[in-house]
C-alpha cells in the first residue's frame, strides 16, 4: 500500500480541526497549544492578512474564549477586527459578526460602556448592510 504524501497545508488544517476537538472535549491546554502551533505555522507560509491566516486566528480566538482566556481573546479580536476590516471591508458579514462578538468580550471583562458602544455600532452596520 502506497502512503500518500501529506502537504504542510493539509497538516495545518488537520491540526486546526484537532484543536477544536480538544477544546470541545475540555482538553483546553492541548487545544491552545495545538492552535498556537497552527497559527505559527500558517504565519510562516502566509501573509498576516491572508484569509487562511485570518481563519486560523479566528479559531484561536474561539479557543481563547472557550477556555476563559478573555483578555487575550479581546486583544486578538481587536487585531482581527482591524485586519478583517482592511481585507474584507467594514460591512462584510464576517467583519460585522466579529465586531458584535468582540462586544461580548468587553462585557465579559465588565467593560460595559465599551461593550454597549461596539454592539450599537455593529447593529447599525448590520442594518445598513441589509438596506434598512
Each residue's pLDDT tens digit, 20-61? 999 999 999 999 999 999 999 999 889 999 999 999 999 999
The distance in angstroms from the start CA to the end CA of the chain is: 59
From 4-13, 20-29, 112-121, the region with the lowest mean pLDDT: 4-13
pTM for the full predicted model: 0.88
Average pLDDT, the chain: 91
The pLDDT score that the predictor gives to residue 68 is 94
Summarize the confidence of residues 73-100 as an average pLDDT. Answer: 95
Q: How far is CA 86 from CA 51, 60, 90, in A?
A: 11, 20, 8
Nearest in space to 105 (alpha carbons), one of 90, 118, 87, 89? 118
Could you tell me which residue, 44 or 70, shows the higher pLDDT?
A: 70
pLDDT at 6: 41
**Spatial separation of the C-alpha atoms in residues 96 and 87, rounded to whole Å:** 13
Amino acid at each position: 500500500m502506497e502512503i500518500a504524501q501529506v502537504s504542510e497545508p493539509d497538516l495545518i488544517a488537520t491540526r486546526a480541526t484537532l484543536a477544536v476537538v480538544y477544546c470541545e472535549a475540555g482538553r483546553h491546554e492541548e487545544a491552545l497549544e495545538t492552535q498556537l502551533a497552527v497559527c505559527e505555522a500558517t504565519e510562516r507560509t502566509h501573509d498576516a492578512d491572508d484569509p487562511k491566516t485570518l481563519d486560523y486566528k479566528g479559531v484561536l480566538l474561539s479557543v481563547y474564549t472557550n477556555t476563559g482566556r478573555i483578555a487575550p481573546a479581546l486583544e486578538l479580536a481587536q487585531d482581527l477586527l482591524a485586519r478583517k476590516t482592511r481585507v474584507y471591508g467594514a460591512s462584510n458579514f464576517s467583519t460585522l459578526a466579529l465586531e458584535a462578538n468582540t462586544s461580548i468580550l468587553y462585557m465579559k471583562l465588565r467593560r460595559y460602556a465599551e461593550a454597549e458602544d461596539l454592539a450599537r455600532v455593529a447593529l447599525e452596520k448590520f442594518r445598513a448592510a441589509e438596506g434598512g
